[in-house]
Amino acid sequence: MRALPLDAEWSGPSPHATIPMPSDDRQDLRLLAIVPAYNEEGMISRVVRDIKRQVPGFNVLVVDDGSTDKTVVQAEAEGAMVLRHPFNLGIGGAMQSGYKYALAHGYDVAVQVDGDGQHKPEYLPEMLDALQTGGKEADMVYGTRFRGDPGYKVPLGRRLGNLIFSVVLSAITRQKITDPTSGFRMVNRRGIELFARDYPHDYPEVEAILMLHNNRLRIHEVQVRMNARGFGRSSIDYPRAAYYMVKVMLALFVGLLRRRPDAFEGAPPPAADTQPAVEPSVEGGGPA
């Protein structure tokens, strides 16, 4: 895969000059909000509208994952760009489609904003800030519910599962990952390239964090509040939750056995070694 320079010059007219951002160096950034949606009719309009109104600098790409309702029509009516999957691939396949699109169209930043209205676009400027500078440059910034008030009543089972993954991932990455199941995440060009090339399947969030770590991309969290899920789709039932736990644990375990490159391929030299003292011995040195 071709490595795209992180700070490629954007020569055309900037459509993003109006974004209310504190510093000047990001005016020319191309920003994409990827909205994965599966049968989100009734919710999708609001989600798209909110993004466009609150953070006009972001282009909105709705990835319709084989919906059988009016999701596509409604998204287009709000002026979103829409990718239509011929059938349902699951959230992993949908997000990867979005990242592939972002890569192909030269976006610098891509953020996942769920089509069910759980993620609030008002946090995007803050996340972008953390991604760019914020004192601690990161390749992926995600919104965590568990550094303060989550904004809604998170079901106990979900909290518990989240805690387990949190402990495991924090141990692996040697940094605090308080909300590994949060899908509200923003990546820079390096993250886009990584996820366009390879993105986990069924329940991608947790595994994706390990992928970032394995490729030595830096992760930063920002405290957010979320909405309870908008409509129907009562998240996950118990047998499926158990399957989820086991499947993701297996994915993590296998992920640890994968080879970890010294630096992200195509990474600019200064960014390659900004993460000091990450002991690779955690990976157990298993046979690749």
Per CB under 8 A, residues contacting another protein are: 2-5, 8-13, 15, 30, 59, 63, 75-77, 79-87, 89, 93, 96-97, 100-101, 104-107
Residue 2 CB, shortest distance to another protein, in Å, is 6
Residue 214 CB, shortest distance to another protein, in Å, is 19
* Closer of 78 and 139 to another protein (Cβ): 78
* Closer of 11 and 68 to another protein (Cβ): 11
* Closer of 85 and 158 to another protein (Cβ): 85
Residue 79 CB, shortest distance to another protein, in Å, is 6
Residue 101 CB, shortest distance to another protein, in Å, is 7
* Closer of 81 and 249 to another protein (Cβ): 81
* Closer of 30 and 216 to another protein (Cβ): 30
Q: Are the C-beta atoms of 170 and 219 separated by less than 8 Å?
A: no
Three-state helix/strand/coil letters over the chain: CCCCCCCCCCCCCCCCCCCCCCCHHHCCCCEEEEEEECCCCCCHHHHHHHHHHHCCCEEEEEEECCCCCCHHHHHHHCCCEEEECCCCCCHHHHHHHHHHHHHHCCCCEEEECCCCCCCCHHHHHHHHHHHHCCCCCCCEEEEECCCCCCCCCCCHHHHHHHHHHHHHHHHHHCCCCCCCCCCCEEECHHHHHHHHHCCCCCCHHHHHHHHHHHCCCCEEEEECCCCCCCCCCCCCCHHHHHHHHHHHHHHHHHHHHCCCCCCCCCCCHHHHCCCCCCCHHHHCCCCC
Residue 152 CB, shortest distance to another protein, in Å, is 31
* Closer of 89 and 138 to another protein (Cβ): 89
Residue 11 CB, shortest distance to another protein, in Å, is 6
